C-alpha cells in the first residue's frame, strides 16, 4: 500500500487522468481509494466578532488529490503530478494514514 499526494492544474486535467483508472461495476477504482480536495486553503481569512468577512481565504491555484494505492506499483502517468509536502504541514490526510505517508516521505527524502 502506498499513499501519494497529487496536484493538477485544474479539475479537468485530473479527470482525464482519473478516467484511465480501471473501475469496478459500480464505477469505483479497483486498486485505490481517492479523496479529491480541490483548491486547498493556503491562508485562512478572518472575520470580525459579528461574522463579517474582513479578509478572504487565499486558495491554491492547484487541484489537490490524495490517493491510497492498494498495490506497490503506481501507474507512471501519475508520477509527474506527485507532490511531497512535509508531513507536519499536511492539514488534509486520509484518517489514520499519516504514518504511511511519513514512510513514503522519508524514503523520498533520504
C-alpha 41: how far from chain center: 13
CA 87/CA 83 separation, integer angstroms: 11
C-alpha cell at 22: 480501471
CA 105/CA 86 separation, integer angstroms: 8
Which pTM does this prediction carry? 0.84
Reading the chain (110 residues) residue by residue, the pLDDT tens digits are: 999 999 999 999 999 999 999 887 777 788 889 999 999 988 999 999 999 989 999 999 999 999 999 988 899 999 999 999 988 777 778 878 889 999 999 999 88
CA 19/CA 52 separation, integer angstroms: 41
The number of distinct structural domains making up the chain is 1
What domain range is 39 assigned to?
Answer: 2-108
Query: Helices in 7-73 by DSSP H: which ranges?
Result: 11-18
C-alpha cell at 66: 490524495
Amino acid at each position: 500500500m502506498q499513499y501519494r499526494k497529487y496536484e493538477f492544474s485544474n479539475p479537468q486535467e485530473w479527470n482525464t487522468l482519473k478516467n484511465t483508472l480501471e473501475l469496478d461495476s459500480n464505477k469505483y477504482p479497483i486498486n485505490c481509494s481517492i479523496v479529491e480536495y480541490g483548491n486547498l486553503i493556503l491562508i485562512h481569512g478572518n472575520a470580525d466578532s459579528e461574522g463579517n468577512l474582513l479578509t478572504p481565504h487565499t486558495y491554491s491555484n492547484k487541484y489537490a488529490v490524495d490517493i491510497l494505492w492498494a498495490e506497490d506499483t503506481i501507474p507512471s502517468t501519475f508520477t509527474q503530478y506527485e507532490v511531497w509536502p512535509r508531513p507536519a504541514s499536511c492539514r488534509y490526510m486520509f484518517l489514520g494514514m499519516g504514518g504511511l505517508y511519513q514512510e513514503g516521505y522519508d524514503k523520498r527524502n533520504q
